[in-house]
Amino acid sequence: MKAAMVDCFKAIGEPIGSNEISKIPYGKVVSRLKRVKAIDESLGQRLMDAADLRNTLTHQMMWRLDVFKVEHIEQFLQLITDLKRAHRAFVRINKSR
């Protein structure tokens, strides 16, 4: 996620240092990617929903290790694929400008 942000900002001529990126909270990373139009509102919301689900499941795992289901893993993997696709498209479009 943060690597996508570094690449996207580099593509539009606003590079971000690795020290700075590590200090940015997840929600702000999503907001910045939406602001530069690297991702759309729908993908941004799905990323935030996935973070909430991850946090909920991690909390529930304290008592039950079987809370993670195959469906959760498939959902996270699809989201990663969608983010990579959006990232590649954004960088490709902005490098050609």
**Considering its fold, how many domains does the chain have in total?**
1
Summarised one tens digit per residue, pLDDT across range 27-85 is: 988 998 898 898 999 999 999 999 999 999 999 988 887 888 899 999 999 999 999 99
Q: Is residue 14 part of a domain?
A: yes
Is 33 inside a domain boundary?
yes
Neighbours of 90 (CB within 10 A): 20
- Residue 19 confidence (pLDDT) above 80: no
pLDDT value at residue 97: 64
Per the domain annotation, does 38 fall within a domain?
yes
Structural domain for 13, as ranges = 2-92
Domain-embedded: residue 97: no
Distance CA 19, CA 54 (A): 25
**Within a domain: residue 20?**
yes
